[in-house]
Structure 1
Amino acid sequence: MEIDTLTIAGALDQFACGDLSAVELCQACLDRIAEIDTAGPTLRAVLELNPDALTDAEACDRARRSGAPVPPLNGIPIFVKDSIDTTGHMMTTAGSIAMIGNYAPRDAVVVARLRQAGAVVLGKTNMTEWSYMRSARTCSGWSSRGGQIRNPHVLDRTPSGSSGGSAVAVATSMCLGALGAEVDGSVVRPSSANGIVGIKPTVGLVSRTGVMPVAAPQDTVGPMARTVADVARLLTVLAGPDPEDPATMVDATPQAPDFTTFLVDGALKGARIGVARDLMGTHEGVDKVIDDAIDTLRDLGAEIVDPAIGAWTPFFGEAETELCLYGFKDGINRYLAAHPKSPMKSLADVIAFNRANADRTLQYFPQDLFERAEAKGGLNDEAYLKAKEECRRMSRTDGIDKVLATHRLDAIVAPTDGTPPWAIDLLVGDHIVGGCSAPPAMAGYPHVTVPAGKCHGLPVALSFFGPAWQDGKLLGYAYAFEQATHARPVPAFKPTVA
């Protein structure tokens, strides 16, 4: 078994012909975790393993031997970000020691759908604590519970976040897929930094019930895997309405298709693709990789519009920050109230816990965003409603919608991150420069990232984003590019760039 190159489709084929069992694959993943995450380079991507994983895998093998039809992900090992509820003796803590003991009363809807599809939940992945919402000076991939995640390509470089553990687990073949969650960049940026494929779906395509929230207009769960086809398979299982999540029940929500049907080699022929040139220019090495990728899109039959300029907003601009502060306070208080086993009952409790345990929680970063969020009012405040409207205006009316209409585009491309993954810096925090996560995140529109090449041994990724509900079309474009380039880098575990 070549686990580094094994895809979901490949594993299912081997299961069907008897060359591989779910137990064997699950054990191979557990061995891999012990070898490189717990020991070896000590990546710290995994927070907690599911003690029932092998038992669940055995049940998958029995189901297959019975001769009855098996579900579409039967026996496939999947990791879940630590902000997504799971039952089965696993906690949900958002990486915070304040939340140790928070055993959810039920699976998040997305986890329930994975289990119904036969997936084996391997455990929970480490993440940027509280999804970046504790401090404006956070270091991606650090949490008080799990420590600092490391990038497997170059170990002193950021894994990015906040779904960094999920991305690292996928990149290093500790699993065949993982769930991340994003408010702005938390699926696509770590996917880019670790050289894998990720999609931030249209908000409303995938349920958020049972997921720790940040800002409802932007929150979504997204699958991460090593290939576009694997991401499409996962999204097909995850997508669909949820009566408990109003965003999935709006009149505009289309019936979720089988996303693998969009994966054809000629998907880019005749597609009008705009280049967000104003989201480039922060690093010459990244720009070179993306310019080469644009040439490939042209060779594959796309009509390239370069430049396609928009009124793009900066990462975490003032209006988006306000939206997140209000949304986080409201959302996390509602989440905690719905979890009877949570040791924290409110954001105020978490703030007090951190103050009382500063030597373990505040040794690197303050909790300034927590304190600013706690000072906010409710979601009926004029300031929140104004910020929400401003985010939509900048990202939709004066942003993506305007560019798409002006140039008659099917999609927009840009580098997912403006620079290669930066050095981990626990004293100063992140060094995020450029990138394109904010416009589609604030608009609630789909965003796919796919490996495009390397710069100094570090992954560089190409992003496709466009209008709402065009997730399948974007996956098709990414698939055509992926099949033409096969640019996914293999982790080298180098100690440093130098």
Structure 2
Amino acid sequence: MAFNVLTSTATELSRLLARREVTAVELTKAYLEQIRKHNKAGAHLNAIISVVPEEQLLETASKLDQERAEGRVRSPYHGIPFVVKDNIWTAASFGLPTTCGAWALKEAKAKNNADVVQAVLNGWLQGVWRLHRLFGGWRTPAGSSSGSAIAAAVGMAPFALGTETEGSVLQPSDRASLYSIKPTIGKISTRGCLPGIKLTDVVGPMTKSPEDLAAFLDILTPIKDVSHVDFLTGAFKDLRIGFLDTKQWLSGPAIETVNAAIDLVEKSGAKVKRNVALVSSEDDKKFNDLISNDLRKGFEEFAEGLDQAPVKTLQELVDFNREHASECLPEGTSDQQYIEDVVKAADLSAEKYQEYTTTLRLNTGAEGLDAVFRENEIDVLNGPPTGRGTSVAILAGYPVGTLPLGYARFNGRAFGLTVIAPTNAEPLILRIMSAWDAIVFKRQPPPKLMSWEADVPEM
């Protein structure tokens, strides 16, 4: 049976590997070929910033094939490549720098793997490291994890790891028509990840299917005595699902598409509540003050885990960028005003820090989303990937997932919805996703790339 890098899910690849119909070496070669074809050439997607040396990758893949032949299988996804955002430590032994997209860190090597990388390596094969321009400004859709999202969507890897402070996993995943999840705050370790914003920072997986997402979560945040896959029922029956008013955030044909999807959800057995009003009180200034406070300290902690890094503080990074402006601040990404503002911002006292954190959590959680769930008698709330709904959930620390719904005819842009659930209700989101995939919309790869050429790497 053939596999196609654009369409095959990790679950499908796992079955092929188990039946000995493909090897980890063959998978690795196919995904490397897709990177060569469309990263700096072809569609010029610029999703990948660096790749583990090919010889090293193939040697590792061969060892994993040998382990499988000897009956030693680390997980169902033993031998499948993946990609990691470039603000996550990967140990120097992989031959990759940890740059965060900053020229100043182009030679920096992490002393250790981030916790999430090590967790994935325990069951998978190290793959490639994507584009992430945290300090240089990204040029791809919707957020700093867009390199990860693009890589997974266009067949450079079956799935990816991104990070999120406020929408950086969810919005790129929406634009790439992927299933992703921003887990409950604190559920997945962020040690070895930048920027280190304690209120909202999470690591989020990005995949082509709900099955892949559930399996990824089994590795990253296992549930005792049960698998996340067990919650993939493929049914909406008896779920209570709320939807924000589509006219508030959609226009034109998209309204018809979303409303048709809502009708289908209701006809499939869900108890639907339309036009739910979002009640919460956010405070952007408090959040921005927390970000400034944490980013300065977070960068220093992150840089301490790097060797060969000429800068160890944000002030040193700002100065380095000025001194090497032609390389660090090229045309199109020449503004570092945000970093300069963060450097200048006053430190919060411990009392103020706790006050801001408590207030934001209370306003968006117990007095915000919890009230919405309770008063509308709904289990989850669906709405747009951008806008207040998602922002409120992020500040509350609640889990949010993406639901692909299609591509706009006039420009090919992907669009979809997000699903917000109460804290620690990732299994509920997975159930929604599985029903969405089975009943509402079967995810498709980007149409423009599908028609780019006939010889998409296939084995």
Structure 2 residue 113 is the aligned partner of structure 1 residue 107:
yes
Contact 2:390–2:420 (CA<8 Å) still a contact in 1? Answer: no
How far apart are the structure 2 equivalents of 1:95 and 1:360?
12
Give the number of aligned pairs.
439
Following superposition, the deviation at residue 384 of structure 1 comes to 3.5
Determine the structure 1 residue equivalent to 2:130. 125
How far apart are the structure 2 equivalents of 1:435 and 1:20?
45
Determine the structure 1 residue equivalent to 2:403. 450
Determine the structure 2 residue equivalent to 1:326. 293
Determine the structure 2 residue equivalent to 1:310. 278
Compared CA separation, residues 37 and 97, structure 1 to 2 (3 A): same
Structure 2 residue 38 is the aligned partner of structure 1 residue 32:
no
Structure 2 residue 312 is the aligned partner of structure 1 residue 345:
yes
Match of 1:358 among 320, 325, 329: 325
Range that drifts further, 44-53 or 206-215? 206-215
Deviations 1:291-313 (A, max 9, x none): 22211211221111122212356
Match of 2:240 among 272, 279, 284: 272
Q: State the secondary structure of the residue aligned to 2:155.
A: coil
Determine the structure 1 residue equivalent to 2:268. 300
Compared CA separation, residues 287 and 278, structure 1 to 2 (3 A): closer
Deviations 1:38-91 (A, max 9, x none): 210110000000112212111110101112344332111100000111121111
Following superposition, the deviation at residue 377 of structure 1 comes to 4.0
Determine the structure 2 residue equivalent to 1:467. 422
Following superposition, the deviation at residue 402 of structure 1 comes to 1.1
Match of 1:438 among 379, 391, 410: 391
Following superposition, the deviation at residue 128 of structure 1 comes to 3.8
Contact 1:450–1:461 (CA<8 Å) still a contact in 2? Answer: yes
Contact 1:330–1:379 (CA<8 Å) still a contact in 2? Answer: no
Compared CA separation, residues 53 and 368, structure 1 to 2 (3 A): same
Determine the structure 2 residue equivalent to 1:428. none
Contact 1:280–1:287 (CA<8 Å) still a contact in 2? Answer: no
Following superposition, the deviation at residue 485 of structure 1 comes to 2.7
How far apart are the structure 2 equivalents of 1:46 and 1:90?
12
Determine the structure 2 residue equivalent to 1:427. none
Contact 1:162–1:186 (CA<8 Å) still a contact in 2? Answer: yes
Match of 1:398 among 362, 367, 389: 367
Deviations 1:81-130 (A, max 9, x none): 0011112111111111111122111111111011101x122111112424
Following superposition, the deviation at residue 318 of structure 1 comes to 2.8
Match of 2:60 among 53, 56, 59: 56
Amino acid at match of 1:366: D
Contact 1:327–1:379 (CA<8 Å) still a contact in 2? Answer: no
Match of 2:232 among 236, 259, 263: 263
Which segments of 5 or more consecutive residues in structure 2 lack a partner in the other structure? Answer: 450-459
Structure 2 residue 72 is the aligned partner of structure 1 residue 68:
yes
Q: TM-score, normalised by structure 1?
A: 0.83
Determine the structure 2 residue equivalent to 1:247. none
Compared CA separation, residues 355 and 256, structure 1 to 2 (3 A): farther
Match of 2:86 among 82, 88, 95: 82
Compared CA separation, residues 57 and 69, structure 1 to 2 (3 A): closer
Amino acid at match of 1:213: P
Determine the structure 1 residue equivalent to 2:192. 210
Determine the structure 1 residue equivalent to 2:179. 197
Determine the structure 2 residue equivalent to 1:221. 203
Structure 2 residue 167 is the aligned partner of structure 1 residue 185:
yes
How far apart are the structure 1 equivalents of 2:252 and 2:369?
25
Structure 2 residue 150 is the aligned partner of structure 1 residue 168:
yes
How far apart are the structure 2 equivalents of 1:280 and 1:394?
22
* Superposed counterparts of 1:282-293, under 5 Å: 282-293=250-261
How far apart are the structure 2 equivalents of 1:329 and 1:343?
16
Compared CA separation, residues 355 and 129, structure 1 to 2 (3 A): same
Compared CA separation, residues 198 and 371, structure 1 to 2 (3 A): same
Compared CA separation, residues 69 and 99, structure 1 to 2 (3 A): closer
Contact 2:299–2:312 (CA<8 Å) still a contact in 1? Answer: no
Determine the structure 2 residue equivalent to 1:369. 338
Following superposition, the deviation at residue 4 of structure 1 comes to 2.2
How far apart are the structure 1 equivalents of 2:328 and 2:247?
35
Contact 2:174–2:403 (CA<8 Å) still a contact in 1? Answer: yes
Following superposition, the deviation at residue 453 of structure 1 comes to 1.9
Range that drifts further, 222-231 or 208-217? 208-217
How far apart are the structure 2 equivalents of 1:386 and 1:160?
31
Following superposition, the deviation at residue 18 of structure 1 comes to 1.6
How far apart are the structure 1 equivalents of 2:100 and 2:216?
23
Compared CA separation, residues 382 and 357, structure 1 to 2 (3 A): farther
Which segments of 5 or more consecutive residues in structure 1 lack a partner in the other structure? Answer: 143-147, 150-158, 241-253, 418-433
Q: State the secondary structure of the residue aligned to 1:290.
A: helix
Determine the structure 2 residue equivalent to 1:2. 4
Amino acid at match of 1:161: G
Determine the structure 2 residue equivalent to 1:249. none
Q: State the secondary structure of the residue aligned to 1:295.
A: helix
How far apart are the structure 2 equivalents of 1:465 and 1:172?
26
Amino acid at match of 2:287: E
Q: State the secondary structure of the residue aligned to 1:413.
A: strand
Compared CA separation, residues 370 and 385, structure 1 to 2 (3 A): farther
Q: State the secondary structure of the residue aligned to 1:192.
A: helix
RMSD between aligned residues: 2.1
Deviations 1:248-291 (A, max 9, x none): xxxxxx7594111110122x211111112289435334333322
Contact 1:128–1:164 (CA<8 Å) still a contact in 2? Answer: no
Compared CA separation, residues 286 and 352, structure 1 to 2 (3 A): farther
Q: State the secondary structure of the residue aligned to 1:359.
A: helix
How far apart are the structure 2 equivalents of 1:370 and 1:491?
34
Compared CA separation, residues 37 and 485, structure 1 to 2 (3 A): same
Q: State the secondary structure of the residue aligned to 1:129.
A: coil
Range that drifts further, 213-222 or 287-296? 287-296
Compared CA separation, residues 313 and 182, structure 1 to 2 (3 A): farther
Compared CA separation, residues 379 and 238, structure 1 to 2 (3 A): farther
Compared CA separation, residues 311 and 452, structure 1 to 2 (3 A): same
Compared CA separation, residues 165 and 208, structure 1 to 2 (3 A): same
Q: TM-score, normalised by structure 2?
A: 0.90
Deviations 1:193-229 (A, max 9, x none): 0111111011121111111124112111010011111
Following superposition, the deviation at residue 410 of structure 1 comes to 0.7
Amino acid at match of 1:104: A
